[in-house]
Amino acid sequence: MAPVTELSNPLRAVFTKAERPSLGVWQMFPGANVSRAMARTPDIDWVLVDCEHGNIDDGAMHDAVPAIAALGVSPIVRVADNQSWMIKRALDCGAHGILIPLIRTVQDAKDAVMASKFPPWGNRGFGSPYAMERFNPVPSMTDYLQLANDSLLTMVQIETKEALADVEAIAEIRGIDVLFIGPFDLGNNIGHPVINGEIKPELSAAILRIRDASHNAGKKCGIFCTSGAQASQFAEIGFDMLSVTTDVSGLQHFLAESVSLARGAGNIAKKTSY
């Protein structure tokens, strides 16, 4: 078998080319068929498998990640918490990147990097028989071991008051690829929650500070959006990674709108679980 020289990672490839922002969708229902339906969305680079707030346990994650990867889209896993065993499970099932919620300190972010990287850089354990098949061409275990540290993406969520205060230092950490904003938690934690979709000026200023800190450190900045229109607005002001919708809110909206049209009541305003 010819050696593989890089792990195919569609999301990282978009970041490297830096020609356009990257769009993705957010999986919260379990099931490989849900993953495949989402990964077939035209023009997306990634599907995020949400083990923090979604109904996705370890087994469902192991079903979702290969289903997404098989369609040439990057499977990204949001782990439930910043714990090394959760990061290990996500990477071992073949995630192309991980997203870690509720980072608070520089040390939290450094711990996340350590858990994501094989020695000598970090302390990730080696031995998954599954991860290799999530890349095309499929690397040998040895190739995966040698390429994973530089190919997989480590992304941290900036959504606490403490992380916002230290965002410039967090952005500088080697091995953090993306700072990703959770506007709902960030708003709650700085005392300006998103209510009925409204982003207050204080939250807006915090979001722009995180964008600037990321870019000043040569890192990418992402944000969770609740609609395509909102994702487009953030793309226009320089965000690199936009979530467009979730399976739950997309389904709710589609069903409500279809029933409304069937009753002759016309299109409905977007009203979903967010």
CB of 55 to ligand 3PY, least distance (A): 14
> 68 with 75: CB under 8 angstroms?
yes
β-bridge partners, 154:
98
| CA distances (Å), origin 170, targets 8, 108, 243 | 27, 9, 22
Q: How many CB atoms lie within 10 A of CB 215?
A: 16
CB of 180 to ligand 3PY, least distance (A): 8
CB of 5 to ligand 3PY, least distance (A): 35
Of residues 92 and 159, the one with the C-beta less far from ligand 3PY = 159
* Residue 54 lies near Mg ion (rule: CB under 5 A): no
Query: CA 227 from chain center: how many Å?
Result: 16
* Residue 240 lies near Mg ion (rule: CB under 5 A): no
Task: Indicate which of ligand 3PY, Mg ion, none lies near residue 183 (CB less than 5 to 8 Å, by partner kind).
Answer: ligand 3PY
Give CA–CA dist 70/93, Å, rounded: 13
Where in 146-165 is the site for Mg ion (CB under 5 A)?
Answer: 159
Where in 167-196 is the site for Mg ion (CB under 5 A)?
Answer: 182, 185
Structure-token pair, residue 38 = 């989402």
Concatenated DSSP letters of 193-253: --BTTB--HHHHHHHHHHHHHHHHTT-EEEEE-SSHHHHHHHHHTT-SEEEEEEHHHHHHH
Of residues 123 and 188, the one with the C-beta less far from ligand 3PY = 188
* Residue 143 lies near Mg ion (rule: CB under 5 A): no
Nearest residue to ligand 3PY, scored by beta-carbon proximity: 182
Of residues 27 and 116, the one with the C-beta less far from ligand 3PY = 27
Q: Is 266 left (phi over 0), alpha (psi -120 to 50) or beta?
A: left
β-bridge partners, 165:
none
Count of residues in contact with Mg ion, rule CB under 5 A: 3
| Amino acid letter, residue 34 | V
Of residues 148 and 231, the one with the C-beta less far from Mg ion = 231
Q: Is 53 a known active-site residue?
A: yes
SS3 132: helix
CB of 244 to ligand 3PY, least distance (A): 13
* Residues at the site binding ligand 3PY, with contacts judged by CB under 6 A: 101, 157, 159, 182-185, 224
Structure-token pair, residue 200 = 């207050």
Among 53, 62, 192, 253, the active-site one is: 53
Of residues 21 and 182, the one with the C-beta less far from ligand 3PY = 182
Give CA–CA dist 229/271, Å, rounded: 14
CB of 181 to Mg ion, least distance (A): 9
Which are the catalytic amino acids? 53
Footprint on this chain of Mg ion (rule: CB under 5 A): 159, 182, 185
